[in-house]
Amino acid sequence: MSKTKTIDRAASSPPANPPARTAGEQPVAAQTVTPTGDGRLRIRHLLGLEGVCREDIERILATAESFKEVLDRPIKKVPPLRGQTIVNLFYEPSTRTRISFELAEKRLSADVVNFTASASSVQKGESLRDTVKNILAMKTDVIVIRHPCPGAPHFLTRATDAIVLNAGDGAHEHPTQGLLDIYTIWERWRDLQGKRVLIVGDVAHSRVARSNIWGLLTMGAEVSICGPATLIPKSFAEIGVEVYTDIDKALDRGVDAINVLRIQRERQSSSFLPSLREYSRLFGIDADRARRLRPGALVMHPGPMNRGVEITSEVADGPASVILDQVTNGLAVRMAVLYLLCGGQAPASREGE
């Protein structure tokens, strides 16, 4: 695969320092972060959480925390990605992820271009390779890609020199969602070691589940998955996950955080499920089931929710729910990842912007 251009990152991105913080704040989770010296991550792209080391994840969490503080400022914009061009390449409909990325990029002062393709254009018309070559010919530095085909982001790393961020590739991974879920749990306990996380639902088709599983295992959490046997790959037991098809047994093992996945209506038409009603009765999280979580446990959902199917409104809006916190945290986490991967200047102080 020919490399057609070389981006001189050293020139455009001076070594990054952790984002500046205002005096008087707590240090950024210093006890868990092992600095890598130059403040960079070991990964060059964020393609998935499989294989991402604990130090990188901890650095992202710590950086996200300081960006979350930025989001509470009256002026929410910082300059580290000034002069960098990011293209959001979305081959699938997405509301929150696309908006979250776009907002994170703008908060970091990057120039942002959105490219939205209809699903049908994946099959016909211009190939992904040609589309990306065209976009890069316009001198963009970073590609954020959402694509229905697993591995499409990996293909971009072979076909281009750009930094690639996976915003969801088919059923493979959705690493920033995994990171924001992990951040949400970490924010509560500051340490995931031994914490028990249960993922409920259509794991087979879920990129959110996969990214959560890899990241949580790396962070020392104990991960269980639960759902109908048609939607739970039993081979996941081979990667160190407890597999349940009985929600009561899964809850009996003790749960510190439950991540409820969206169940797609088309699973019913393609015979993975007889009916959503039966799914809801067997696996839906209602108040009775939520009461069996451990004290202080979190209820999470990556959205969008099917209220009354996989989760009842009582639970989704209840005291244990952190579903809206996840959305806020997503913005901070995406700012952190963009900042750490794309370099740039440290965020200026309040006055500087």
Partner 1 sequence: MSVQGARPGVRAIVGGRVIDPASGHDGVADVLIADGCVERVGRGAGAGLPDDTVVHAEGLIVAPGFVDLHVHLREPGREDEETVETGSAAGVRGGFTTVCCMPNTEPAIADQETVRFVVDRARAALGKVHPIGAITKDRKGEALAEIAEMVSAGAVAFSDDGAPVANAGLLRRAMEYARMFDVTLVSHAETPDLSRDGVMHEGVVSAKLGLRGMPAISEEICVARDIALSRLTGCHLHIAHVSTADSVGLVRAAKGDGVRVTAEVTPHHLILTDDLIARDFDPLLKVNPPLRTQRDVDALRQGLLDGTIDCIATDHAPHAEQEKDGEFDLASFGMTGLETALGVCHRALIETGLLDWPLLVDCMTRRAAAVFGLKAGRIEPGADADIVCFDPNGQWQVTVQTLASKSKNSPFLGWTLTGVIRATLVDGCMVYQDWSAGVSSPSESDRTRSSIHRSPVAKSVGSSPRR
Contact in structure between 348 and 78 (CB atoms under 8 Å): yes
Q: SS3 of 144, please?
A: strand
Q: Which is nearer to partner 1, 147 or 334 (CB)?
A: 147
Q: Which is nearer to partner 1, 207 or 262 (CB)?
A: 207
Q: Which is nearer to partner 1, 118 or 193 (CB)?
A: 118
Partners of residue 176 on adjacent β-strands: none
Q: Which is nearer to partner 1, 115 or 189 (CB)?
A: 115
Q: Rounded to the nearest whole angstrom, what is the least distance from the CB of residue 332 to partner 1 in the complex?
A: 26
Q: Rounded to the nearest whole angstrom, what is the least distance from the CB of residue 248 to partner 1 in the complex?
A: 25
Q: Rounded to the nearest whole angstrom, what is the least distance from the CB of residue 265 to partner 1 in the complex?
A: 19
Contact in structure between 226 and 199 (CB atoms under 8 Å): yes
Max CA distance (Å), the chain: 59
CA 58 from centre of chain = 14
Q: Rounded to the nearest whole angstrom, what is the least distance from the CB of residue 73 to partner 1 in the complex?
A: 38
Partners of residue 298 on adjacent β-strands: 257
Query: 227-231 — which CB contacts under 8 Å span 24+ positions?
Result: 227/200, 227/201, 227/202, 227/203, 227/261, 227/283, 228/272, 228/273, 228/279, 228/282, 228/283, 230/204, 230/271, 230/272, 230/273, 231/201, 231/202, 231/203, 231/204, 231/205, 231/267, 231/272, 231/273
Q: Rounded to the nearest whole angstrom, what is the least distance from the CB of residue 53 to partner 1 in the complex?
A: 18
Q: Rounded to the nearest whole angstrom, what is the least distance from the CB of residue 340 to partner 1 in the complex?
A: 22
Burial level of 347, CB count in 10 A (0-12/13-18/19+)? Answer: buried
Q: Which is nearer to partner 1, 60 or 213 (CB)?
A: 213
The residue ranges that bind partner 1 (CB under 8 A) are 50, 122-123, 127-129, 147-152, 154-155, 157-159, 169-173, 204-205, 207, 210, 233, 235-236, 238-239
Q: Rounded to the nearest whole angstrom, what is the least distance from the CB of residue 185 to partner 1 in the complex?
A: 22
d(CA 114, CA 179): 23
Give residues with Cβ within 8 angstroms of 129, minimum separation 6: 155, 159
Q: Rounded to the nearest whole angstrom, what is the least distance from the CB of residue 204 to partner 1 in the complex?
A: 8
Nearest CA-CA partner of 227 in 194, 268, 261 = 261
Q: Which is nearer to partner 1, 110 or 128 (CB)?
A: 128
Q: Which is nearer to partner 1, 159 or 276 (CB)?
A: 159
Q: Which is nearer to partner 1, 66 or 211 (CB)?
A: 211
Q: Rounded to the nearest whole angstrom, what is the least distance from the CB of residue 173 to partner 1 in the complex?
A: 7
Q: What letter would DSSP give residue 295?
A: T
Q: Which is nearer to partner 1, 266 or 278 (CB)?
A: 266
